[in-house]
C-alpha cells in the first residue's frame, strides 16, 4: 500500500492532519479571518479540511488550497462537492513553494506543512509573499516541550523550545495576536486516531493483501510515538500579523 493510501486510512477519524480538536480549529480560524469576504490560502492544505470549515462558516469567503499530494487534492475536491462548496474553492496541485497568484490573500494558512518550505521561518517568508496589506498568517508547527531524544530529532526534525520559537518568529517581523498550544489530550487523541484507524482497517480487512503490512505499520508507529516523542513533541499554532 502506498503512503497516500495509508495516510487516508490513518486520518479517517481525524481529518485535520494535525493534533488539534474541532474547537481549537474553529477558534484559530475565527481569529485568523478578519472579514466575512476574506480570501484564504492554505499552503499544504492536505484534504482541505481547514478551508472547508472556513468556507462552511462564512458564505462570502473564497479559498484556495495548494498541495503536492494528488490523493489529498482528490479528497478535497470530493469533500467540497459533497458539501456544495466547490464554487468558492480553487485547488492547485503543485509544490507550495512554487505557488504564485495574481492576487494577495487576507489569511495565509500553513499548518503541519513547514517541511514543504524547509522550516518555520521559510514558511513565514512564503506566506508573506502572498499576504494582502493587513493580512494574517495562521501557522502550525512543532516545538520541543522537553529535551528530545536523538531518535525524536531524527524522526520529526530539529525544533526549538516554545519561547525560542516565538523569539524567532517575532524577530522575523511578526506579532502573534493569538496562539494555541496543543494539549496533551489533543496530541494523544491525534496519535490514537491515526494508529488506531490503521489497526482497525487491517483487522476489518483480514483477506486484503495489505492487511498484515498495515497492522505492522500501526504497531510500529504507535511504539515510535510512545517510546520516542510522546513526552517531548509539542505543537503550536500562531495567528500572526506583520509587526
Q: How far apart are CA 93 and CA 65, in angstroms?
A: 8
Per CB under 6 A, contacts with ligand SAM among 68-97 are: 68-69, 72, 95-96
Supply 64's cell numbers: 484556495
Of 45, 52, 214, 240, the one binding ligand SAM by CB under 6 A: 45
Query: How many angstroms from the chain centroid is the CA of residue 134?
Result: 23
3-class DSSP state of 104: coil
3-class DSSP state of 51: helix
CB of residue 203 vs ligand SAM: minimum separation in angstroms? Answer: 25
Contact present, 108 and 137 (Cβ < 8 Å): yes
Contact present, 45 and 74 (Cβ < 8 Å): no
| 44-52, 161-169, 182-190, 208-216 -> range binding ligand SAM (CB under 6 A) | 44-52
186 binds ligand SAM (CB under 6 A): no
Of 32, 112, 148, 234, the one binding ligand SAM by CB under 6 A: 112
Contact present, 127 and 139 (Cβ < 8 Å): yes
Longest Cα–Cα distance in the chain: 57
Of 55, 116, 124, 127, the one binding ligand SAM by CB under 6 A: 116
123 binds ligand SAM (CB under 6 A): no
Of 19, 32, 46, 135, the one binding ligand SAM by CB under 6 A: 46
| 110-118, 175-183, 212-220, 223-231 -> range binding ligand SAM (CB under 6 A) | 110-118
Supply 114's cell numbers: 513547514
Interaction site with ligand SAM (CB under 6 A): 16-18, 44-46, 49, 66-69, 72, 95-96, 111-113, 116
Amino acid at each position: 500500500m502506498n503512503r497516500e493510501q495509508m495516510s487516508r486510512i490513518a486520518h479517517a477519524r481525524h481529518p485535520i492532519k494535525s493534533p488539534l480538536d474541532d474547537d481549537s480549529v474553529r477558534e484559530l480560524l475565527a481569529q485568523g479571518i478578519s472579514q466575512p469576504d476574506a480570501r484564504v490560502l492554505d499552503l499544504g492544505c492536505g484534504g482541505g479540511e481547514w478551508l472547508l470549515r472556513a468556507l462552511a462558516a462564512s458564505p462570502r469567503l473564497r479559498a484556495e488550497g495548494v498541495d503536492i499530494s494528488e490523493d489529498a487534492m482528490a479528497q478535497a475536491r470530493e469533500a467540497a462537492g459533497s458539501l456544495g462548496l466547490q464554487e468558492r474553492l480553487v485547488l492547485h496541485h503543485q509544490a507550495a513553494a512554487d505557488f504564485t497568484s495574481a492576487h494577495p490573500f487576507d489569511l495565509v494558512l500553513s499548518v503541519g506543512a513547514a517541511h514543504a518550505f524547509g522550516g518555520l521561518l521559510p514558511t513565514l517568508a512564503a506566506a508573506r509573499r502572498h499576504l494582502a496589506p493587513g493580512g494574517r498568517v495562521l501557522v502550525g508547527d512543532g516545538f520541543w516541550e522537553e529535551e528530545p531524544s536523538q531518535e525524536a530529532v531524527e524522526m520529526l526534525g530539529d525544533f526549538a523550545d516554545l519561547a525560542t520559537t516565538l523569539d524567532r518568529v517575532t524577530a522575523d517581523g511578526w506579532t502573534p495576536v493569538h496562539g494555541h498550544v496543543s494539549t496533551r489530550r489533543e496530541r494523544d487523541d491525534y496519535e490514537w486516531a491515526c494508529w488506531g484507524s490503521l489497526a482497525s482497517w487491517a483487522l476489518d480487512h483480514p483477506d486484503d493483501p495489505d492487511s498484515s503490512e498495515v497492522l505492522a505499520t500501526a504497531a510500529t508507529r504507535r511504539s515510535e510515538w510512545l517510546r520516542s516523542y510522546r513526552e517531548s513533541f509539542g505543537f503550536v499554532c500562531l495567528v500572526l500579523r506583520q509587526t
